[in-house]
Structure 1
Amino acid sequence: MDKEEEVLILNQPLLEEPATRNTPPEDLQGKSLRLRVWIETKKLWRIVGPAIVARLASFSMNVITQAFAGHLGDNELAAFSIVNNVILGFSFGLLLGMASALETLCGQSFGAKRYSMLGIYLQRSWIVLFICCILITPVFIFASPILKLLGQTDEVSELSGIVSLWVLPLHFSYAFIFPLQRFLQSQLKNFVTLWMSLVVLVVHALISWIFVYVLDFGLVGAVVALDISWWLSVFMMLGYVTCGWCPLSWPGLSLEAFSGLWEFVKLSTASGVMLCLEFWYYRILIVMTGNLSDATIAVDALSICMTVNGWEFMIHLAFLAGVGVRVANELGAGNGQAAKFASKVAVAESSFISLFFCALIVALHDKFAYIFTSSADVLQAVDQLSYLLAVTILLNGIQPVISGIAIGSGWQAWVAYINLFCYYIVGLPLGIVLGFVADYDVLGMWSGMVLGGTLVQTVILAIITTRRDWENEALTAGRRVKKWSRPDNQEEGQQ
């Protein structure tokens, strides 16, 4: 790469100027394919890089709390793990998905330079998600009888019920932090969330140690430390947004946030269902595994595989966020071909990363479980599942990115229907048949759910994405921005 190309890269804006908006990226200023890929990579990783660190930091807070719970006793570990994965996991998946509506609306409005609407959308999202939190609060209150119905022991269910009540503040923090993250992300303020996440992670480790060991508050202390850490993140982001660092996109509290709520609810619900169906898919696998004859070994082995998959999946969740912002920004700016090109680059780079980790798991198929256990039976069970883990990781590189493209384009409702069909009508029944009827146990269940659900869903979404008319998507985005935006003469003048 010569010096002239390097100068072009350094000076490349995130969005093309209006004069070049309708120019296909292949012909844009006569740049070579290598240079255009590098320029798009730089734009993408400006979002993806900080998002990976931020997501790993947030994931690590729950891991730290789980580690403290594990040192308190087996029942404490089981109680927190169940609440974290089943009860809180339901809330997390639904609210995270609903907040993803902001990636569509804020991203496209930012691309169209309707900056003041971002703050209105943020406030609408707070209202909708807070109401949703209230509606699903009974799940936390009645967690103990729910878990007993799912087959958990009375002792673990009772302790889990106590933990569920103490994580209610954490549950309500989701209604504020998820919209704030997407509000900042759509404006490319990713390094703000990165540094805040790292600061909160350090604070969380410190206060967890104080509450558990110094003050001797036990499991409740560990959970309260987690509540405090999540709300600290909320207040830090809220302070950044409302205290002058987002002058264009934060117009202050406005009654306009209460207008158009029904349309916002529909888009948020579609986003929530899309991600929740996906997020809950493999958690159902863990619940079903508990009904096998040798459940202890099976659950331990599957939990190790799901933990490894979860850590690696954080990378591709960052790609989901990155490509969602890039596609929404370009469509909002009227750059259909640029959005298409951004999608291709994101899928290619995410797939390359997943291929690397897939090969790593295959190479270390009988060794990586030593990180978590020394039990010979569990090690052998993990070894048997390792190749399915490798296939799942490989699909991670494609499927979340396509979901991000759908979010950036506003196709959430279509993807929700596809997820429902592939996961719960095809994949889950096939997994049950292979696991229980064909007697292949956890290997059969996971195989059916991966091949019948995840693989089929990935293929269908890939076909739909490649057949989209991207110029029409840009026009649709423009109509959406006009429909949802209020007249703003000052912004019109700026454009």
Structure 2
Amino acid sequence: MQLNSASSEQKSHDLKGRICEESKKIWRIALPSVISRLSLFGTMVVSQSFIGHINSTDLAAYALVQTLTVRFVNGILIGMSSATETLCGQAFGAKQYHMMGIFLQRSWLINLVTLTILLPVFIFATPIFELLREGEAIANSAGSISLWFIPFIYSMIFSVTIHMYLQAQQKNAIIAWLSLVQFTIHMILAFCLCYEFRGPWSNGCTMHVLMAFGVWRIRVHLRSVRVANELGRGDAKVAKFSIKVLISTSTLIGLLFWVLCLVFGNKIGYLFTKDEEVPRSVSDLSILLAFSVLLNGIYPVLTGVAIGAGLQTKMAIINLICFYLIGLPIGAVLGYVTHLQVKGIWIEMISGVVAQTLALIFMTWRTNWDKEVCITSSRLNRWYLKSEEENNLETK
């Protein structure tokens, strides 16, 4: 009995040690990524906050451009760049270091061509929004704002892919520092341009407790690098353990933000406008916001696991089914038939995310990770190009 007890305590101690060690590795990669994403999204939130205090029409236009146009194009670019994240992470694990730069440069070329093809979405934003039955004033404002987003989107090609490239090597701390500097400069410029140079439009300029956790609700994502690295090294066991720690950590973070949104959800609207109608509407949606936050703390990690393993095709099929075959009909019924409007559309999105989360959990659980190690090795060998040193050795 004593031997069994001692053995059990030893196993428990070993498990705690493994969890702590894995958590350190995860956060060494994830923390700079979290800071970078918070800064990027915070930049948009700061702009939206200042615009909301200047003009309600421009606020609506900015929200439309950011939510529809920018998110649509950005989603395509990030989706395509996920291949860079997969290949660089797995190449680093397999010690094919020279291939990482090759994958990065290829991603730049492909993304530049893709974004150039998508430019009409920004150039012709006004007629597009008029076609969607937006008011003339909002559509015209959105058209002007869209043009200013073009340089921002082009910069995303390089910032996103370089971030993935550095993150795969666990060298992304520089991205965090640069993001913080950029965010600070943006805050100062936004204040100066909107307040000092336009005149005092509101006493709300001083409320920069502004970046409350609830506003940054979907940006705390633990990524896929640990999974990709371990698959590249050929260690399926460590990859599976890393997935368990990733999901557990992200779920706890999601629960924390869920509670914060439930507690402070009725205050968020005041960050963007003095008009009492907007905060009342936001407060009415705070419960839906809280559950969105909870789910957005879980499914991005599962998505990252799929990206790390190179399962983008399965993930795309899951997304199409969950959002278009399940979520969209629910949104159409709730939004337009039962006249729930915004609530109905939001419930549709939550329904799609719930279905996606459950599907990704099932896919992750059923994945044969030993087989994925073999697939990873085959993929890296297929794309492998010999380095200059290897070519020189063969010549000799």
Question: What is the TM-score when the length of structure 2 is the normalising length?
Answer: 0.86
Cα distance in 2, alignment partners of residues 308 and 443 from structure 1 = 22
Range moving further from structure 2, 369-378 or 473-482: 369-378
Specify whether residues 169 and 479 from structure 1 end up closer, same or farther in structure 2 by C-alpha distance, changes over 3 A only.
same
Q: Are 1:331 and 2:313 matched, yes or no? A: no
- Which of 48, 58, 61 aligns to 1:79? It is 61
- What CA distance in whole angstroms lies between the structure 1 residues aligned with 2:140 and 2:111? 28
- Residues 1:193 and 1:491: Cα distance change in structure 2 (over 3 Å): farther
Query: 1:198 Cα deviation (Å)?
Result: 1.1
Instruction: Give the letter for the 2:377 counterpart.
Output: G
Determine which of 84, 102, 112 is the counterpart of 1:102.
84
CA distance in 2, matches of 1:30, 1:376: 54
Superposition CA RMSD, Å: 2.7
How far residue 380 of structure 1 moved from its aligned partner, in angstroms, is 4.7
- SS of the equivalent of 1:113 reads coil
Segments of 5+ residues of structure 2 without an aligned counterpart are 1-10, 199-211
- Paired with 1:167 and 1:381, the residues of 2 have a C-alpha distance of 28
Q: Distance in 2 between matches of 1:409 and 1:491?
A: 28
Counterpart residue number, 1:91: 73
Among 34, 37, 56, the alignment partner of 2:16 is 34
Q: Which residue of 1 aligns with 2:129?
A: 147
Can you list the C-alpha shifts for 1:253-294, whole angstroms capped at 9, x where unaligned?
A: xxxxxxxxxxxxxxxxxxxxxxxxxxxxxxxxxxxxxxxxxx
Cα displacement (A) at 1:119: 0.6
Equivalence for 1:11: none
In the alignment, residue 347 of structure 2 is paired with which amino acid? S
**1: CA distance, partners of 2:155 / 2:347:** 36
Letter in 1 for 2:360: L
In structure 2, distance between residues paired with 1:364 and 1:416: 35
Task: Describe how 1:231-270 pairs up with structure 2 within 5 A.
Answer: none
- Matched residues in 2 for 1:100 and 1:145: separation? 32
Give the counterpart of 1:477 among 371, 376, 388: 376
Q: Which residue of structure 1 lines up, in the alignment, with residue 219 of structure 2?
A: 314
The CA deviation at 1:466 is 0.6
Residue 445 (structure 1) shift:
3.1
Say if 1:348 and 1:132 are closer, same or farther in 2 by CA, change over 3 A.
same
**Pairs within 5 Å for 1:396-435:** 396-435=296-335
Q: Structure 1: 5+ residue runs without aligned partners?
A: 1-28, 217-306
**Aligned match of 1:461:** 360
What letter matches 1:168 in structure 2?
I
Paired position in structure 2 for 1:229 = none
Other-structure match for 2:347: 447
Query: What amino acid maps onto 2:358 in structure 1?
Result: V
Please state how far the C-alpha of 1:342 moved relative to its aligned partner.
0.5
CA distance in 1, matches of 2:193, 2:269: 31
Q: Would you say the 8 A contact 1:113–1:491 is kept in 2?
A: no
- The one-character-per-residue Cα deviations of 1:113-171 (angstroms, maximum 9, x if unpaired) are 00001111111000000001110011111111001011111122122212222322222
Measure how far apart 1:377 and its partner are.
Answer: 5.1
Distance 1:134 1:45, change over 3 A: same
Change (3 A) 1:200 1:491: farther
Residues in 2 aligned to 1:479 and 1:331: alpha-carbon distance in whole angstroms: 11
C-alpha distance 30-393 of structure 1, shift in aligned 2 (>3 A):
closer
- Mapping 1:212-361, distance limit 5 Å: 311-316=216-221, 319=222, 321=223, 324-361=224-261
Identity of aligned residues (%): 40
Q: TM-score, normalised by structure 1?
A: 0.69
Structure 1 segment 103-252 matched on structure 2, within 5 A: 103-209=85-191, 211=193
Q: How many angstroms apart in 1 are the aligned matches of 2:243 and 2:220?
A: 16
User: Compared with structure 1, are the counterparts of its residues 438 and 393 closer, same or farther at alpha carbon in structure 2 (3 Å cutoff)?
Assistant: same
Distance 1:139 1:206, change over 3 A: same
Name the residue aligned to 2:201: none
Q: Which moved more, 1:370-379 or 1:408-417?
A: 370-379
CA contact (8 A) 1:114 1:491 kept: no
Give the AA of the match of 2:142: S
